Amino acid sequence: MKALITGITGFVGKHLESFLRDKADVYGTSRSNRSKNHIFEVDLLSETKVTRLIEEIKPTHIFHLAGLSNVKDSWKQKADFIQANVIGTIHLLEAVRKVDNKIKVMTVGSSEEYGRIQGELDKVIEETALHPVSPYGISKCAVSMLVSLYHRSYGLNVVHARPFNHIGPGQRLGFVTSDFAYQIALINKGRIDDPILRIGNLKTARDFTDVRDIVEAYYNIACFGIAGEAYNVCTGQGVYIQDILEKFLSYSNKKIELVVDPSKIRVAEVPKLVGGPEKLYKLTGWKPKRKLDDTLKDIYDYWINN
Ligand code: GDD
C-alpha cells in the first residue's frame, strides 16, 4: 500500500500514520505544518495543488481525513465548514478522477449525518435516513452524497466511513472527554484556584470508540470496503455524558463544583446517537478492542502529563 493521508497532522491522522507504519509507505498533507519530508503543505481548497500532489505521489490508497470536525464550532463558522469539508472533498475527488480513478479513496463522514432519528430506532444503521441537525452534519451528508455521485457517475473507487464519537489521548479541547479531563487534571495539578468544572449538556448519549480502534477500522474499510458504500464505525453501545463525567470525577482527589456553562449549550443537538456496527463487522471482522474505561483513563493521564 502507498497511502496518502489528508490531514495527517490532526488527531486521527497521527494515530493512522503510526498504525500504517509497518503496512504502507505513508505520505500526508497538512495545511500549515511541513515538519517532515513525507508531509506536503497542501490546502485542499486548491484543486491544482491536490492534483499535482496525487500525480507526484501516485498513491494506491487515499485516507481523506482533512476537514473541520467540531460540531459546536460549525454553528459559528457555517461557510468555513462547507468550504473545508465539501469543497475540499470535491477538489480531492476531481483530482483522483483526472489522475487515476482506480485509486482507492476513503472519505470520513460522521454519525452527525443521521441527525434527528425518526421513531424509536435504537441504533442507526447505514440505511437509516439522513436528517442532520448541525451545519457540520450537513457538510458530512454532502460528503457521503458526493461519494455515491462520483462512484455512480465516474466509477471512482471511493468508500465512505461514518465514525461515531472517537476519543483518545491527544485529542484537542472542544470535544467532551478532553474538555472534562483537562479541567479535572488542572484542578488536581493545583494549577487553578477554584475547583470548578464547566460543563455543557449531560443528558445526551453517544457511542464512543478509542481512536486507535477507529484507525484500524479505516484501514479495513480502505482495503475491503465496497465502492459507493458507507460503513458505520462504532461500538453499538450508548453512554450518557453524565456517566462519562462521573468516571472522570472518580479520578479526582479534590472535590469539584460543577457549573453549567451556557456557551457550551448548542443551538440544537441529537439527544442519542448510537450506531449499528454489523455491516463493517460482516465485511471485515472489525470490532473495537479497547474498553471505554481504559480509554478514559488514558485521556486523563494524558492531561495530567501535558
Ligand atoms: N465538547 C463538549 N464539551 N461537549 C459537551 C460538554 C463539554 O464541556 N459538556 C457536555 N457536552 C455534550 C455535547 O453537548 C454533546 O451532546 C456531547 O457532549 C458530545 O460532544 P462532543 O464531544 O463535542 O462530540 P459531538 O458528538 O458533538 O461530535 C463528535 O462526534 C462526531 C461523531 O459522532 C465530533 O468528534 C465529530 O467530529 C464527530 O463526527
For ligand 1, mutation pick of 108, 171, 175, 260 (most atoms within 8 Å of CB):
175
Q: Are strands 158-163 and 39-41 parallel, antiparallel or unpaired?
A: unpaired
Q: How far is the CA of 143 from the centre of ligand 1 (A)?
A: 20
Neighbours of 80 (CB within 10 A): 14
Given the CA of residue 110, which atom of ligand 1 is nearest to it? 39
In degrees, rounded to 5, the angle at the alpha carbon of residue 53 between the alpha carbons of residues 47 and 59 is: 120
Task: For residues 46 and 94, give the distance between their C-alpha atoms in angstroms, rounded to a whole number.
Answer: 11
- Per-position pLDDT tens, the chain of length 306: 999 999 999 999 999 999 999 999 999 999 986 678 899 999 999 999 999 999 999 999 999 999 999 999 999 999 999 999 999 999 999 999 999 999 999 999 999 999 988 765 689 999 999 999 999 999 999 999 999 999 999 999 999 999 999 999 999 999 999 999 999 999 999 998 899 999 999 999 999 999 999 999 999 999 999 999 999 999 999 999 999 999 999 999 999 999 999 999 999 899 999 999 999 999 999 999 999 999 999 999 999 999
Tens of pLDDT, residue by residue over 12-37, are 999 999 999 999 999 999 998 667 88
Given the CA of residue 167, which atom of ligand 1 is nearest to it? 35
Task: For residues 34 and 47, give the distance between their C-alpha atoms in angstroms, rounded to a whole number.
Answer: 19
> 21 to each of 3, 216, 292, how far by Cα in Å?
10, 12, 25
Query: Percentage of residues in the chain with pLDDT exceeding 70?
Result: 98
Q: How far is the CA of 70 from the centre of ligand 1 (A)?
A: 8
Q: What is the pLDDT of residue 121?
A: 62
DSSP 3-state percent helix, strand, coil across the chain (nearest 5): 45, 20, 40
Q: What is the pTM of this model?
A: 0.97
Around ligand 1, the residues with Cβ closer than 6 Å are 69, 71, 110-112, 163-165, 174-176, 179, 199-202, 204, 206, 241, 264, 266, 269, 273
The CB-based long-range contact list for 38-46 (8 Å cut-off, 24+ gap) reads: 39/8, 39/9, 44/6, 44/84, 44/87, 44/88, 44/89, 44/91, 44/92, 45/83, 45/84, 45/87, 45/88, 45/91, 46/91
Given the CA of residue 180, which atom of ligand 1 is nearest to it? 8
Given the CA of residue 204, which atom of ligand 1 is nearest to it? 16
Q: Which helix (DSSP H) or strand (DSSP E) does residue 257 occupy? A: strand 257-260
Task: For residues 242 and 237, give the distance between their C-alpha atoms in angstroms, rounded to a whole number.
Answer: 15
Q: What is the pLDDT of residue 34?
A: 65
Look at ligand 1, atom 4, and give the residue with the nearest C-alpha. 176
For ligand 1, mutation pick of 110, 113, 116, 176 (most atoms within 8 Å of CB):
176
Tens of pLDDT, residue by residue over 137-157, are 999 999 999 999 999 999 999
Q: What is the pLDDT of residue 119?
A: 65
Look at ligand 1, atom 26, and give the residue with the nearest C-alpha. 165
